[in-house]
Structure 1
Amino acid sequence: MYKDEMIQLHQFLVYVLKYLAEDDQITNDCSEYITLKISPHHIHKTKAEHKHAIFVLCKIISQVIADKENNSIPENVRNSLSDLVRRSEEEMGSS
């Protein structure tokens, strides 16, 4: 995937999260994403940083959906997303 496509996906996931989460919940659920200090508008950030942000957003979105829909997302899917976040952190650290 090209960097500009990653940025578009990043932006889309931000919109999805804003749609799903209530205002007070966003701050609590998104602390991991907020600490990244990267948004889709940061085009100077690397492709790897945007990829990591995408994984973090996917993990958060799955948690928000699971909380709202009484665990409608299987735990193994949420665990897999957490593993992707961890591995992307490792990749960024080794670069």
Structure 2
Amino acid sequence: MKKQELIHLHGLLAEVGNYYEECEADEISLDEYEELGVRPTSIHKSKTDHKAAVFALAGGITSAMEEPEEQEAVPAQAD
């Protein structure tokens, strides 16, 4: 994948994350992504930096999407 394509993917994932946060009214935990300091607009950063950011961002988004399903799957205990 070319750097420009990776930057485009990075931007799309950022939009997906923003949309998910809007729909769920909850923030996605993106600590690993934030630590990298690479944004879709950081065109001066290397291809490797954007690749790491894409993986971190995708991981944060998928983790946030998995959490509600896991909570629903746990049956409530009757007292």
- TM-score, with length taken from structure 2: 0.77
Q: Which has the higher contact order (CA 8 A, sep 6+)?
A: 2
**C-alpha RMSD over aligned residues:** 1.5
Higher mean C-alpha displacement, 13-22 vs 55-64: 13-22
Gaps of 5+ in 2: 71-79
State the AA in 1 paired with 2:27: Q
Alignment of 1:1-95 (within 5 A): 1-21=1-21, 25-26=27-28, 29-68=29-68, 70-71=69-70
Gaps of 5+ in 1: 72-95
Q: Contact 1:21–1:64 at 8 Å: present in 2 too?
A: no
Which residue in the other structure is 1:91 paired with?
none
Q: Contact 1:20–1:64 at 8 Å: present in 2 too?
A: no
Superposed structure 1 runs of 4+ greater than 3 Å apart = none
Larger radius of gyration: 2
Give the Cα separation in 2 of the matches to 1:37 and 1:61.
17
Report the secondary structure of 1:21's partner residue.
Answer: helix
Give the Cα separation in 2 of the matches to 1:24 and 1:63.
13
Which structure: greater helix fraction?
Answer: 1
Q: Contact 1:14–1:57 at 8 Å: present in 2 too?
A: yes
Report the secondary structure of 2:27's partner residue.
Answer: helix
